[in-house]
Amino acid sequence: MESILTNRPELAYQIGQAAEVAGYLWEKGWAERNGGNITLNITEYVDDEIKAMPAISEPIAIGMHLPYIKGCYFYCKGTQKRMRDLARWPMDNGSIIRILDDCEHYEIIADKAVMSTSEAPAHLSVHNYLLEKGSPYRASLHTHPIELIALTHNKHFLEKDVATRTLWSMIPETKAFCPRGLGIIPYELPGSVNLAEATIKQLEDYDVAMWEKHGVFAVDVDIMSAFDQVDVLNKSALIYVAAKSMGFEPDGMSDEQMAEMTQAFNLPK
């Protein structure tokens, strides 16, 4: 069977980027077993031939009414699939879905009937929110970065913007490349509607949100950029851990140094 990616270099590139990121997640130890999810809004790469492709699954209920993604197409990691497998075989461990006109169901169209992750409704509701507000963001990433999750086992870091300030102050790049910081979402059951709603609320102010004692949810223009935001945040967490394990509390950049950098790089305050 021919893949939907054949003779579609732009679409193949986007899926290739998802596979590359999946490999990084595994190498970093952020993607044990089937941990994490990737969802890409690929609607802009869809041609008439794709629009005419028949469904290869029954309609699947999303469990929500999502009007802004009506007729959109997504690449979604498959349920119970491993990132380390997706890295090598993205179309065996994820599939392309089409949102139906009722805005409440989707169907799989390619390459194989790989069922989407149980967290697909949360990811799709985030993409619905992004389109509603006219955001250029087309990728969402959920992963389990070790040191960032460890921070959430301490109440101090669950207070608004405490973790953000600590992480930004470890190295100038972190604020430069994650300028909106890290939102915090108190523990909610994985896959729950409450978690999806709380995530959307945090994404109003942040590009990366932390699910307490679980993992991060990041959005950006593409999957590599979403990964980069999580990567710089976790790099800062690693520097914090390294200083603590050397036996001292890291000083962090001073307020003056942060202000100078914020102005020099024209970052939000």
186 binds, options ligand 2HA, Zn ion, none, Cβ within 5 to 8 A by partner type: none
Give the DSSP H/E element, type plus range, for residue 86: helix 83-86
* 99, 118 Cβ separation under 8 angstroms: no
If you search the block for the tokens 């794709």, which residue do you land on?
Answer: 50
- As measured in angstroms, the least distance from the Cβ of 66 to ligand 2HA is 19
The nearest distance, CB 118 to ligand 2HA, in angstroms, is 6
Q: Which does 220 bind (CB under 5 to 8 A by kind): Zn ion, ligand 2HA, none?
A: none
Strand blocks (E) in 144-262 = 182-185, 208-211, 215-220
How many chain residues are in contact with ligand 2HA, going by CB under 6 A? 8
The phi-psi region of residue 63 (left if phi > 0; otherwise alpha if psi is between -120 and 50; otherwise beta) is left
Residue selected from 34, 199, 202, 225 as contacting ligand 2HA according to rule CB under 6 A: 34
Q: Please tell me the distance from the alpha carbon of residue 134 to that of residue 163, in angstroms, as a whole number.
A: 29
Round to whole Å and give the CA distance between 138 and 42: 8
Q: Does 36 interact with ligand 2HA (rule: CB under 6 A)? A: yes
Using CB under 6 A as the binding rule, whether residue 190 contacts ligand 2HA is answered as yes
Give dist(CA 116, CA 93) in Å, integer. Answer: 9
For ligand 2HA, the closer of residues 4 and 203 by Cβ is 203
Q: Which is nearer to ligand 2HA, 25 or 239 (CB)?
A: 25
| Nearer of residues 90 and 215 to Zn ion, judged by Cβ | 215
Contact 190, 215 (CB under 8 A): no
In the block, residue with structure tokens 């031939």: 49
Which residue ranges make up the site for Zn ion (CB under 5 A)? Answer: 215
User: Closer CB to ligand 2HA, residue 46 or residue 86?
Assistant: 86
Q: Is the four-CA dihedral 166, 172, 174, 179 of positive or negative sign? A: positive
Binding to ligand 2HA by residue 37, rule CB under 6 A?
yes
Minimum CB–partner distance for residue 114 and ligand 2HA (Å): 14
Instruction: By CB under 6 A, tell whether 220 contacts ligand 2HA.
Output: no
| DSSP SS3 for 187 | coil
Q: Which of 179, 166, 168 is nearest to 266 (CA)?
A: 179
Does 22 help bind ligand 2HA (rule: CB under 6 A)?
no
Contact call for residue 152 and ligand 2HA (CB under 6 A): no
**Which residue of the chain is nearest Zn ion when measured via CB?**
215
Quick check: 199 binds ligand 2HA (CB under 6 A)? Answer: no
Closest CA to 196 of 93, 94, 63: 63
Write out the two tokens for 143.
């992963």
**Annotated active-site positions, please?**
119
Query: Which tokens is 138 given?
Result: 């087309």
Nearer to ligand 2HA by Cβ, of 35 and 250: the residue is 35
The correct pick among 66, 74, 93, 119 for binding ligand 2HA (CB under 6 A) is 119
* Residues at the site binding ligand 2HA, with contacts judged by CB under 6 A: 34-37, 117, 119, 142, 190
